[in-house]
């Protein structure tokens, strides 16, 4: 497999702030790669390092085998789609999409044809004469994508491009982006703080925290087998259980992750089925979520366990006694302590 982007011990410091701290990473050609993490974790700085908007303090970056340090953005075969779209309001949609080609000196006939082809790719054929102000948020996002794609980049960088959209439109655009990437075969590097976006769209995900990569893996690996307490707590909603509780539950004396949806619920004090581990708890808070109910419960030893109750189990109330149970195999022990 060809490596599209390679980070080799890359750091980027701003004074005493280590925005990126000794990051090593390979992104494969043709994959949809997500950089996931909270604000200030270093993911956007890494994207800017790929784009050429920032230069590394130390380390080495390659794009398709070519050294990237010192190469200006316009000479890199990458394009960026930003959250705010950055469309020119005085230009038509067609002119916006063809702007990069105009800067490169491409003649008007060729750039208009290529811009129309790019608009067709994002299902905006026939919209070329409109102005950005005449488009919806989702349509403006598609124009920004078409403008990035018209230059036929080898790597497309997306900096939280769906953050300004409402929930329904964001979910629709997730499907469209994934389909577009599959059809084009271009390497997508997608920065987001939204776990759902990363898990549903990416082939692989890198979790960032405090300038470092905490874990890299497929969405299933990241969700089912978190390597650290931070990864378990940040991705999805997991119970991060103490070493003492893990030992009492039949596992080793290590920090462990237990996903709320994998916990069975018995009302009252009851015996768990089969070889499941069980624990008596008291409901401390109830959060109705439509198709399910989120329960915050507490064990007699003070361990908090969150559990997702299907709507078919009916209503719950604070102070109610429950028995929680789960198969030993769903208690995931962390590989690392931090």
Residues in the chain, pLDDT under 70: 164, 272, 336-338
User: Residue 174: its pLDDT value, please?
Assistant: 85
User: Residue 138: its pLDDT value, please?
Assistant: 82
What is Dmax (Cα atoms) for the chain?
A: 77
d(CA 277, CA 325): 5
d(CA 279, CA 281): 6
Long-range contacts made by residues 108-114, C-beta under 8 angstroms, separation at least 24? 111/150, 114/150
> Structure tokens of 46?
């890494």
User: Residue 336: its pLDDT value, please?
Assistant: 63
- Spatial CA neighbour of 176 closest among 155, 197, 153: 197
pLDDT in tens, 151-192: 889 999 998 877 767 777 788 888 888 988 998 899 999 999
> Structure tokens of 203?
């082939």
The structural domains of the chain, ordered by start, are: 3-233 (3.40.50.300), 239-324 (2.40.50.140)
- Spatial CA neighbour of 33 closest among 1, 4, 53, 10: 4
What pTM, to 2 d.p., does this model score?
A: 0.88
pLDDT in tens, 256-305: 999 999 999 998 887 767 788 889 999 999 999 888 999 999 999 888 99
d(CA 7, CA 3): 10
Whether 174 contacts 201, CB under 8 Å: yes
- Spatial CA neighbour of 231 closest among 334, 127, 123: 334
């Amino acid at each position: 497999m060809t490596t599209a982007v390679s980070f080799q011990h890359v750091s980027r410091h701003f004074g005493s702030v280590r925005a990126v701290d000794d990051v090593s990473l390979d992104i494969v050609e043709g994959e949809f790669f997500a950089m996931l993490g909270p604000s200030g974790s270093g993911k956007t700085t890494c994207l800017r390092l790929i784009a050429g908007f920032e230069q590394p303090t130390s380390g080495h970056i390659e794009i398709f085998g070519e050294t990237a340090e010192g190469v200006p953005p316009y000479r890199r075969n990458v394009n960026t789609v930003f959250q705010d779209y950055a469309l020119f309001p005085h230009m038509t949609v067609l002119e916006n999409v063809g702007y990069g080609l105009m800067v490169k000196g491409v003649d008007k006939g060729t750039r208009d044809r290529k811009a129309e082809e790019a608009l067709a790719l994002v299902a905006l054929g026939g919209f070329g004469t409109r102005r950005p102000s005449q488009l919806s948020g989702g349509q403006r996002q598609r124009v920004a994508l078409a403008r990035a794609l018209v230059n036929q980049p080898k790597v497309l960088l997306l900096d939280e491009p769906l953050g300004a959209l409402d929930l329904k439109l964001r979910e629709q655009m997730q499907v469209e982006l994934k389909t577009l990437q599959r059809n084009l075969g271009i390497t997508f590097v997608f920065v987001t703080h939204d776990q759902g976006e990363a898990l549903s769209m990416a082939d692989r995900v890198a979790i960032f925290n405090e300038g470092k990569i905490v874990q890299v893996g497929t969405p299933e690996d990241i969700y089912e087998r978190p390597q650290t307490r931070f990864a378990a707590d940040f991705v999805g909603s997991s119970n991060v259980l103490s070493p003492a509780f893990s030992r009492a539950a039949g596992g080793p004396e290590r920090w462990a992750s237990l996903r709320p949806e994998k916990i069975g619920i018995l009302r009252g004090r009851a015996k768990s089925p089969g070889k499941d581990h069980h624990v008596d708890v008291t409901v401390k808070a109830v959060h109705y979520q439509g198709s399910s109910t989120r329960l915050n419960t507490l064990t007699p030893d003070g361990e908090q366990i969150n559990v997702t109750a299907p709507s078919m189990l009916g209503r719950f109330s604070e102070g109610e006694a429950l028995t929680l149970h789960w198969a030993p195999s769903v208690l995931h022990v962390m590989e690392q302590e931090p």
